[in-house]
Amino acid sequence: MGPMIFRRIVIGFITLWVVSVIVFFGLSILPGDAAAIQLGQAATEESLAALRAQLGLDRPAYIRYFTWLGGMATGDMGISNAGGATIASLIDFRLIKTLELGGIVAVISVPLSIFLGLAAAMYPGTWLDRILTFGTMSLVAVPEFLIATFLVLIFAVKLQWMPSIAYMSGGESLWEWLHALAMPILTLVIVVSAQMIRMTRAGILNVMNSPYIEMAILKGVARKRIILRHALFNAIGPIINVIALNLAYLVSGVVIVETIFAYSGLAKLMIDGVQTRDFPLVQACAMIFCGTYVLLLLTADIGAILSNPRLRKPK
Amino acid sequence: MSDTSANTEETGAAEKEVDTIDKFAELPDAPPKKGIKLSWVGKVSVAIVAAWVVVAFIGPWIAPFHEAEFIVDDSYVPSGGCPEMLEELFDLDEWTPDAITQYCTESDTILFLGSDYLGRDTFSRIIWGARTTIGISFVATLFAYFVGITLGIGAAVSGGWIDMVLSRFNESILSLPSIMLGLIAVAALGSTIPILIITAALIYATSVFRIARALGQDIMVQDFVEAAHARGEGLWWIITREVLPNAAMPLLTDFGLRLVFVILFISSLSFLGLGVQPPMADWGSMVRENMQGLGYGSYASIWPAVAIGTLTISINLIVDDISAKSGGSLAKKMV
């Protein structure tokens, strides 16, 4: 099992490295470098050359790449093109806000999805199962912003229970904070849970097809007991896998949700960076998001390896 | 069943023949019947998707107005409103259903779904938007398939280090959130339609690659491929005559799913203001533009959202129906 996990971690690092190459060279090699963008129409040959030297753009690309990579690893992420603030200071509290949002969503959606997924798997073919299957299928098939739009229509416009913008001035009480965050949280919980419920259900039903469960059924054990005492423990591995995978899906959900509800987190910062073509900022944000994603996928795979003996030996 | 009853009206000999064929069809070893029978859900879904495809083709000719034409001066006019009403009543509160029936029943410029934030006709923009959204996504998916299948089957057939390098690289790209890759591409290259298509195509080519490679590897070890090798057939012959036809059905079902993902991807980028640029109508950007209107009781952002939902859910239901009938294809399992 050890070598297998080691192998997977090495692959994770290779992926991270490929990511860094894509992120850096994708945004650096193109015509129109940062200096030209920053100076815009007013650029002369001399001022361009001076700014390029100042930003270190006159050095060869591979040297800039390694400097950048070293900076990323040590937390020195460079300087934003717009405004000249250090990227670390821009990212700092926004990253915390995004993590808060993601954390709350995870705390709510993980138990909820496992419970509903179990319920659906426990009584397959019943109305509960059908409604859950059809409902989650529909939710998975539509974009996140569609769910958000309908939630705004229902809860912010029609019922007027919650604000449609997650505005926070700082210094709110816990209740006010939750109230302001209710819409983004609700949207993300729905998006992530739909996927997780489907996968939990599929995971449990998969275990239910194994011979030892058939044996339990033949002995006359009640279905509820079979699921809770026999199937669940063997499905824990796949379920850990599902949870990590879906927390990874949060990354793309967060991008949309922060934009809709004007929540000033990391994703909003990145979108603004894309709009103003602030490449150093986009690079730093992209690395954080992709790095988190890769790490979560790595956790998912290690969970799967630990739980399934058949995956421990490479073919 | 209707085929059989139609045939029974013919001569007795023909009737007997049909009967024998039918009997064979019931035997366990008979080859599976050609043609896919859909459940009623599937049929409704096919009708919805077909309707959108027709709209995408003939949209500009059936839409009452052009996508970029300003019809009225007011934003967020409710469904059924018309310029005549707006000349008399100036206030949002006065545009009641009664007022609409009073002023607009005989008007010839009725805004069926009201106006958007710039006073353009939402109905016409949805019709125009069908062409943009479906067109871009479809072309991108086709392109993704071309690239994915070529490289995937190529990797499976050639094996060795080519396969290793391609697969490793592919897995790396595949393990990134597609929206992030989209953002990087848009930041670097700007958001024109060709760039959107190529970006979406390359991102989703990775999952096609994985499926095509797995299918290719499965098929390459089958006896009939070995037989073809032994007959002395060339590699190209084996790929086109043995591998591709056998991979076609799972890949086709997967095409539907992939199309849904591409539609979601393109409209999400548009929604973020980084996809299709105004004044072109696109369902994703229409939702975004008119979100403010929700506060004024306007549904201008709900209709394009409904359009996306009906299309993507229907495609998904069709795929579900087909893969349920064919016993769950490989493509479905790998998503």
Of B178, B183, B309, the CB nearest to A274: B183
Of B187, B260, B294, the CB nearest to A274: B187
User: Is the predicted pLDDT of residue B122 greater than 50, yes or no?
Assistant: yes
Residues of A with Cβ-Cβ distance to B312 under 8 angstroms: 141-143
Residue B139: predicted pLDDT: 95
| Alpha carbon distance A291, B176 (integer Å) | 9
Query: Do residue A149 and residue B171 have CB atoms under 8 angstroms apart?
Result: no
Residue B197: predicted pLDDT: 93
Please count the other Cβ atoms lying within 10 Å of the Cβ belonging to residue B323. 20
Instruction: Render each residue's pLDDT in chain A as its tens digit; 315 residues.
Output: 677 788 888 888 888 888 888 888 877 765 555 666 666 666 677 777 777 676 666 677 777 788 778 877 777 777 776 666 777 888 888 888 888 888 889 899 989 998 898 888 878 778 888 888 888 888 888 888 888 888 888 888 878 777 777 666 666 677 777 788 888 899 999 988 988 888 888 888 878 778 888 888 888 888 888 888 888 777 777 777 778 877 777 877 888 888 888 888 888 888 888 888 778 888 888 888 888 888 888 887 887 777 766 666 554
- pLDDT per residue over B204-237, tens digit each? 999 889 888 888 888 888 888 888 888 888 888 8
Question: In this predicted model, which residue has the larger pLDDT, B294 or A135?
Answer: A135
User: Is the predicted pLDDT of residue B32 greater than 60, yes or no?
Assistant: no
pLDDT band (50, 70, 90) for residue B4: very low
CB interface of B with A, residues 27-86, below 8 Å: none
Q: Mean pLDDT throughout B19-34?
A: 50
**pLDDT, mean over chain B:** 78
Closest residue in chain A to residue B267, using alpha carbons only: A143
Q: Which range, of A3-7, B84-88, B133-137, averages the lowest pLDDT?
A: B84-88
Residue A308: predicted pLDDT: 66
Query: Do residue A14 and residue B168 have CB atoms under 8 angstroms apart?
Result: yes
Residues of B with Cβ-Cβ distance to A259 under 8 angstroms: 271-272
- pLDDT per residue over B169-206, tens digit each? 888 888 778 888 888 888 888 788 898 999 999 999 99
Residue B13: predicted pLDDT: 46
Residues of A with Cβ-Cβ distance to B291 under 8 angstroms: 149, 152, 260
Residues of B with Cβ-Cβ distance to A275 under 8 angstroms: 273-274
| Å between A3 CA and nearest CA of chain B | 19
- pLDDT per residue over B136-179, tens digit each? 999 999 999 999 999 988 888 887 888 888 888 888 888 778 88
Looking at domain B40-69+120-333, its CATH class is: mainly alpha
Query: Do residue B180 and residue A150 have CB atoms under 8 angstroms apart?
Result: no
In three state form, how does the secondary structure of chain A look?
A: CHHHHHHHHHHHHHHHHHHHHHHHHHHHCCCCCHHHHHHHHHCCHHHHHHHHHHHCCCCCHHHHHHHHHHHHHHCCCCECCCCCCEHHHHHHHHHHHHHHHHHHHHHHHHHHHHHHHHHHHHCCCCHHHHHHHHHHHHHHHCCHHHHHHHHHHHHHHHCCCCCCCCCCCCCCCHHHHHHHHHHHHHHHHHHHHHHHHHHHHHHHHHHHCCHHHHHHHHHCCCHHHHHHHHHHHHHHHHHHHHHHHHHHHHHHHHHHHHHHCCCCCHHHHHHHHHHCCCHHHHHHHHHHHHHHHHHHHHHHHHHHHHHCHHHHCCC
Query: Do residue B315 and residue A141 have CB atoms under 8 angstroms apart?
Result: yes
User: Is the predicted pLDDT of residue B287 greater than 50, yes or no?
Assistant: yes
| Residue boundaries of the structural domains of chain B | 40-69+120-333, 78-113
- pLDDT per residue over B66-77, tens digit each? 777 777 777 777
Residues of B with Cβ-Cβ distance to A19 under 8 angstroms: 172, 176
Residue A29: predicted pLDDT: 60
Residue B335: predicted pLDDT: 35
User: Is the predicted pLDDT of residue B263 greater than 80, yes or no?
Assistant: yes
Residue ranges and CATH numbers for the domains of chain A are 87-312 (1.10.3720.10)
User: Is the predicted pLDDT of residue B112 greater than 50, yes or no?
Assistant: yes
Is the model's pTM score more than 0.90?
Answer: no
Residue B202: predicted pLDDT: 92
